[in-house]
Chain A
Amino acid sequence: MSPTEGGRLTEADRTTLATVLDRLIPAVDDLPGAGEMGLAREVERRARRNHRLRGALVATMDALSLDLSAHAAGGFNALEPEAQVEALEEIERSIPDKFTPFLQLVYTVYYMEKSVLEHIGWTTGPVQPDGFDVEPFDEAILVNARQREPFWRETE
């Protein structure tokens, strides 16, 4: 794997990105990991639309390609899963200003996925137009608060 050229991911990059996603958000219950779910394409697509997120993705992928252990092994995908996690942890430490928005993007794409939302019990979809039901305010709850004498500080 070589550093991304001109900010565009190669097919090899995409394969690596899928592995990265699996390390970041592994499988749970009947849900595969984020990479195995095929979210790498969506991460790339969403990043392409935003300068900051695109920069974060490219910087993270470039950092992975330059990681010495991955380089020695013949690429990030060739590393054992534990070593992949270590490589990502190192990148998180070394370029937090890039890794953090990259992780935010990955989380966001993952938690937009219908199967994920079903798994966590988020059945509403977007919060509008339905919103949520909340009971109207009941003044009875103020019975104690109303007992208190005024305590604001007078000035005159």
Chain B
Amino acid sequence: MTQTSKADQIADVLIIGAGASGAAVAWKLSEEGFKVVCLEQGRWQRPQNYVTGDADWELRALTDWSFDPNIRQRPEDYPVNDKDSPISPLMFNAVGGSTIHWTAHTPRMHPSDFRVKSLDGVADDWPLTYFDLEPFYDLNDEMMGCSGIIGDPANPPRSPRQMPPLGLGEDGKMLVEGFEKLGWHWWPSDSYVNSVPYGDDRGACNYCGPNGLGCKVKAKSSTDITYWPHAVANGVKLRTRCRVTRITVDDEGVATGADYLDRNGRLRHQAAKSVVLAANGIGTPRLMLMSKSDAHPEGLANSSGLVGKNLMFHPYAIVMGLFPESIESWKGPMGNIFMSQEFYETDSRKDFVRGYTYQIIRDTGPASHARGGINGPIPWGESHHDAFASSFGKSIGMAIIGEDLPEDHNTVTLDERLVDGSELPAPKIDYTLSTNSRRLLDDGIENARKVLEAAGAVDVTVNPLLRAGGWHLMGTARMGVDPEASVVNEWGQTHDIDNVFIVDGSILVTGGGVNPTSTIQALALRAADYIARERTEFRSESIAQAVAD
């Protein structure tokens, strides 16, 4: 039997998911006096317990700290059927969500990314511009803490960064030479990694390397140590190990809250005046499709039929350069060296539209290197030791983050057989890499070869499509003006249900050619700002009055 919240426990805003975007909304709305409850299926992480200080840290990356939930298989994870996708979705379920294991490489989307239909005749324009979003990028930078430097000619001018860039390292400097010989753009990456102490009890990066396993010194931003402490101090009730089973609606189809399984497996109901979905580009459409009702027979807010469609990843190709001498390429955060956007914008001479960013990446530890990290394992047998010795600490990589345009046959649906630990249907991914994306990646591979050879690489290896590369989950509840061609409006509010908002990567119209989290968080803050300004009826009178007083 479902246990229902009492009248005085009705939340003004119920947020599903405590990751990158849910945390931002929780903080912003609690600052504005809203009574916020957040349900998160994962747990709090303790930075002091992160495994990079343990002797078996490289094994843990292969098991309970894997990026892939199908490998990690923690109780709070749900399986994903990715057999019909060449890319495996990656995510983490915890307070902080996937910011626990991201690299925190945080470039912004470009103005052109919001106008791809007008400029290039593909996909759709966004219902907002880069400059509409800019103040929220800035606010997010301040909350998360951004290392970087202004003046990048590939991007519009932006406000001063909170901290100077991270050190490039000897490997980074070597690759800079390659770009400079070719006269190609490079620039220190904006990163949500402290180059100097910043934030509450957060130290500077000590260049340990594998920040994808969590950061013990709290130099890398994750929302459990940035937004959440402030949100909790503001009174947000964050309930962990709570798995939402469906969003509930009344006879009119208006959201009334959510049913969820608490940490003891008991079915409960949280009543709310409004619901914000922040469960990532796979979790959110899964939950919407699980929330069918008489009022919403195709799933929550799915009159357009687009919930779960237009899944975009950023397909990654990886090009590794091998150098003759050690460049100690394990020193420093794995993905925050610098970037190049020489080929970011559409070039009419090429056989594809849109473009890509190069994110420069490092090796990590010996076992990871032997396993192949990102470009295939060192061979076993008699050649093993020579192959290891000739490559460990001598290679640096270029990740090509290509724009992946939306296609409605790339989908998230509910698997008919696979279920999670609570017997809820698992998501199924159907994804095909498009011809445009393939051509774009191939172009990136060829240009990366030129850079690496110009920098002095003696050998170049290519992974043309990284399977374990589905970090960015986007587009499955897209934003737009037309209710028949989109799921939410420019504020993340669903067209169908006035009091349901979506703030995660699901709402991206297109994905750009950059890591999307800072954009997702900026969109979340903008949606929260809209709720605070325009939807004051959600806010409890007593609290609203207290704030006014």
**Which A residues lie at the B interface, using CB under 8 A?**
23-26, 28, 46, 49-53, 85, 88, 100-101, 103-112, 116-117, 120, 122, 125-137, 139, 141-142, 144-146, 148-156
Cβ–Cβ < 8 Å partners of A139 in chain B: 149
In the assembled complex, B216 has its CB within 8 A of some CB on chain A: yes
In the assembled complex, B456 has its CB within 8 A of some CB on chain A: no
Cβ–Cβ < 8 Å partners of A116 in chain B: 366
Which of B207, B371, B388 has a CB less than 8 Å from the CB of A108?
Answer: B371
The answer on a CB contact under 8 Å between A127 and B73 is no
The answer on a CB contact under 8 Å between A152 and B366 is no
Given A137-B168, A145-B185: A155 and B111 within 8 A (CB)? Answer: yes
In the complex formed, the residue of A with least CB distance to B209 is A127
Which of A108, A117, A145 has a CB less than 8 Å from the CB of B62?
Answer: A108
Contacting residues of chain B (109-126) with chain A, CB-CB under 8 angstroms: 110-112, 114-115, 118-119
In the complex formed, the residue of B with least CB distance to A141 is B176
Inter-chain CA distance A110–B119, complex, in Å, is 53
The answer on a CB contact under 8 Å between B381 and A126 is no
Which of A110, A130, A152 has a CB less than 8 Å from the CB of B155?
Answer: A152
The answer on a CB contact under 8 Å between B371 and A107 is yes
**Which B residues lie at the A interface, using CB under 8 A?**
50, 52-59, 62-64, 71, 73, 110-112, 114-115, 118-119, 129-130, 149, 151, 153-156, 164-169, 173, 176, 180, 185-188, 195, 205-210, 216-217, 328, 330-332, 344-346, 364-367, 370-371, 377-378, 380-382, 384-385, 388-389, 392
The answer on a CB contact under 8 Å between A132 and B209 is yes
Which of A110, A134, A148, A151 has a CB less than 8 Å from the CB of B332?
Answer: A134
The answer on a CB contact under 8 Å between A153 and B110 is yes
Cβ–Cβ < 8 Å partners of A122 in chain B: 365-366
Inter-chain CA distance A107–B187, complex, in Å, is 36
Nearest-Cβ distance from residue A153 to partner chain B, whole angstroms: 4
The answer on a CB contact under 8 Å between A137 and B111 is no
Which of B55, B58, B206 has a CB less than 8 Å from the CB of A131?
Answer: B206
Inter-chain CA distance A153–B155, complex, in Å, is 9
Majority DSSP secondary structure for residues of B touching A: loop
The answer on a CB contact under 8 Å between A152 and B166 is no
Inter-chain CA distance A116–B217, complex, in Å, is 28
The answer on a CB contact under 8 Å between A25 and B384 is yes
Inter-chain CA distance A51–B62, complex, in Å, is 12
Inter-chain CA distance A130–B208, complex, in Å, is 7
In the complex formed, the residue of B with least CB distance to A109 is B59
The answer on a CB contact under 8 Å between A112 and B384 is no
The answer on a CB contact under 8 Å between A107 and B55 is no
Which of A23, A25, A136, A145 has a CB less than 8 Å from the CB of B186?
Answer: A145
In the complex formed, the residue of B with least CB distance to A147 is B153
Nearest-Cβ distance from residue A64 to partner chain B, whole angstroms: 15
Cβ–Cβ < 8 Å partners of A132 in chain B: 206-209, 328, 330-332
The answer on a CB contact under 8 Å between A120 and B207 is no
Inter-chain CA distance A116–B166, complex, in Å, is 32
In the complex formed, the residue of B with least CB distance to A51 is B73
In the complex formed, the residue of A with least CB distance to B168 is A137
Which of A52, A85, A145 has a CB less than 8 Å from the CB of B381?
Answer: A85
Which of B50, B52, B153 has a CB less than 8 Å from the CB of A149?
Answer: B153
Cβ–Cβ < 8 Å partners of A28 in chain B: 385
Cβ–Cβ < 8 Å partners of A136 in chain B: 164, 167, 195
Which residue, A23, A105, A145, A146, has most C-beta atoms of chain B within 10 A?
A: A145
The answer on a CB contact under 8 Å between B370 and A152 is no
